[in-house]
Amino acid sequence: MQNLIQNTKNRWRAEGGYREVLALSLPLILSTSSTTIQHFVDRMFLTWYSPEAIAASVPGGILSFTLMCFFIGTATYTNTFVAQYFGAKQNDKIARAVWQGVYFSLVSSAIVFVYLPLAKPIFQLVGHTPEVQTLEIQYFRILCLGAPAIFVAAAVSGFFSGRGETWTILWANLAATAVNIVLDYIFIFGKIGFPESGIRGAGLATVISNYLYTLILFALMLKPAFRKTFQTWKNRQVDGEIFRRLMRFGTPNGVNFMLDLLGFTLFILLVGRFGTIALAATNITFNINAFAFMPMVGMGIAVEIIVGQRLGENNAQLARFGTKSALHLTIFYMGLICLTYLFLPQIYLMPFAANADAGKFKEVAEITIKLLYFVAFYSIFDTMNIIFSSALRGAGDTRFVMFVSISLSWILMIIPTYLGSVVYNWGLYATWIFITAYIAALGIVYYFRFRQGKWESMRVIEEPKFIISPNLPENPTL
């Protein structure tokens, strides 16, 4: 026991230890948590509004986000470029990398608007009830209008997070979240003179807050101090070499992000075939799990930054040490959360039940409690998945992460869920066994890839050019 305490103290103080990891990750954890709170409040209001609204919110919201994920994942990879350039002390390349992400985001935004007329046939194909379908289509189309803001913010946020300036991300996110929550209440229920808009109001509030967040980050990046130190305005030109590297490493990250979420989207859509009650319980379970999951995402971003900066310094040993420190902290946190899922699940259901119809919500609550047992089991594996995949992405091993995620998603989750819901009708709980197996397999595979160590020699940035002085002798003597 004394050795454990002493080792913990040593790791707390060490470079790449617990204190350093928490200092970097805490603002990111709070930022992702604020996003979770935003979604939670949004869906809580919709639960109060009507069962159809909450049933439609997750399919409509997650499908719109899924179709944007390729562009978000690619633009977000500016974070790794900035981290490695910052670690290598190549400050002149940082703003150039960010601007390449911005240009990619602006071009990509136009593609998203092509999805708007496809909303109706997509949700008709899913087969949800007509009332839910109508709301899904409305919500989906409104959220797509926020694509330009989401993409640009993904690229610009890398300027701050990649350098370790994570508190800026937090304050900008908190401001946008506060605006979203206030507008949610006003628009959904029709307060202070605004018409009652239900799920349409929820979508509009989200889009407005997305644009606010983007404007805040962009204005901060262009403030005089950064324009002087990093040439954030001067280095806005297109850089073909950096852009090609961003596409080379960022595109697999974007594909992985999109297809990974697509797998969960298909899972939710297929679960909807078991009825509105099963769909509502699944949606609420994922929403509850987001409270635990999103802070882990914040820790994952921190791991990506740590690995990127340390590899930029050519210090792979410290990158490995920092990753393991993050893993220890996240497993401790997640273990505590899992205990609440098992022994105190009612506390998570109270906000949803507050203004919902008691008779209708009772069955939803009973199913949700059982689904939380699945979440408690797979959460530790999900911790491994997030931490180790983030470390691999921070090095540039994005293709491996992509191939593993896609293959396991189809083999262990999507195809079995289709068979269980459409062909054989195995029931809701059988489908949750499949998603549990998928997440567990991801964590195990990424662990062994990290342990193998190939990522330690990878880089996304170009090697610095060394110039040999012509004044050196042809045959120098030692």
Half-sphere exposure of residue 37: CA atoms within 13 angstroms, side-chain side: 17
Q: What is the pLDDT of residues 380-422, one digit of tens each?
A: 899 999 999 999 999 999 999 999 999 999 999 999 999 998 8
- pLDDT bin (cut points 50, 70, 90) of residue 470 is low
Q: What Å distances lie between residue 62 and 47, 266, 449, CA to CA? A: 17, 10, 29
Lowest mean pLDDT among 48-57, 89-98, 176-185, 300-309: 48-57
pLDDT at 471: 55
Alpha carbon 196 to chain centroid, angstroms: 31
Distance of CA 277 to the CA centre of its chain: 27
Tell me which H or E stretch contains 338. helix 316-343
Report residue 293's pLDDT band, with 50, 70 and 90 as the boundaries: confident
* Amino acid identity at 213: Y
Q: 95 CB contacts (<8 Å, ≥6 apart)?
A: 159, 226, 230, 231, 232, 233, 234, 235, 236
Burial code (b: 16+ CB inside 10 Å, e: under 16) for 118-136 equals ebeebbeebebeeebbbbb
Mean pLDDT value of segment 292-301? 84
Tokens linked to 289: 């799990």
* pLDDT recorded at residue 79: 94
Give the residue, 42 or 164, on which the prediction is more confident: 164
User: What does the pLDDT look like over 325-357, one tens digit per residue?
Assistant: 999 999 999 999 999 999 999 898 888 887 677
With a pLDDT cut of 90, the percent of the chain lying above it is 54
pTM (predicted TM-score): 0.83
Nearest to 393 by CA among 452, 449, 477, 434: 449
Of 125, 134, 429, give the one whose Cα is nearest residue 271. Answer: 429
Task: Examine the pLDDT at 219 and tell me if it is beyond 70.
Answer: yes
Whether the Cβ atoms of residue 78 and residue 100 lie closer than 8 Å to each other? yes
Look at residue 209 and tell me whether its pLDDT is greater than 50. yes
Say yes or no to pLDDT of 74 above 50: yes
**Cα atoms in the 13 Å half-sphere on the side-chain side of 285:** 26
Here the tokens at position 441 are 């397999």
| Burial of residue 273 (number of CB atoms within 10 Å: 0-12, 13-18, 19+) | middle
Are 279 and 62 contacting, i.e. CB atoms less than 8 angstroms apart? no
Q: 42-51, 84-93, 464-473: which range is least confident on average?
A: 464-473
